Amino acid sequence: MTTGPDGRLYVGDGYYRLIYVLPISGGTSGTFSMSTTIADISSGSDGNIWVASGATIEKVTTAGTVTTYTPPTGVHAIKLVAGPDGAMWFVDDNPSAPKIGRITTGAGTVTMYTIPGTGVSYEVGGPTLGSDGGIWFGYRTSTGNYVGRLGY
């Protein structure tokens, strides 16, 4: 669930592949159909709603127009957050080599960042935007639990 730039709530329903649009105070409600399962939903600094759907990332306008971006092969995008740089950041939960990804809100260019350490497990938490402007995330390796930061 996220609050959109228009003040309405956008609720992702992964099972039915729908985004429910709910007014908080006034405005209209609605439903947008998605072609893929919804793993996470977040507002972008570009005025759009962003959806992580595993093998794809979708940009959804407040009018319901969907633009689909496909990350590199093997990337499974979940857990989105808007970064201080205007891009969207996401977790790739590929169990063999999870990473943190960044997608630009204009062209949809994807950059992947390797999580440090060896034996990184399936469980990568976050990302979240820290008060310092960094993208923070948690992860586990064969040697313990860690917190990582990507910053500008």
Greater confidence, 104 or 139?
Answer: 104
Mean pLDDT, the chain, integer: 90
Task: Extract the tokens encoding 24.
Answer: 């908080």
Beta bridge mates, 125? 138
Residue type at 49 in one-letter notation: I
Query: Cα 8 from chain centroid?
Result: 19
pTM above 0.85, yes or no: yes
Dihedral sign for Cα 9, 105, 53, 121, please.
negative
CATH code assigned at 49:
2.130.10.10
- Is pLDDT above 70 for 80? yes
Per the structure, the count of domains in the chain is: 1
- Mean pLDDT on 119-130: 78
The whole domain housing 79 covers 2-150
Q: What are the beta bridge partners of residue 109?
A: none
pLDDT tier at 142, thresholds 50, 70, 90:
confident
Residue 117: pLDDT above 70? no
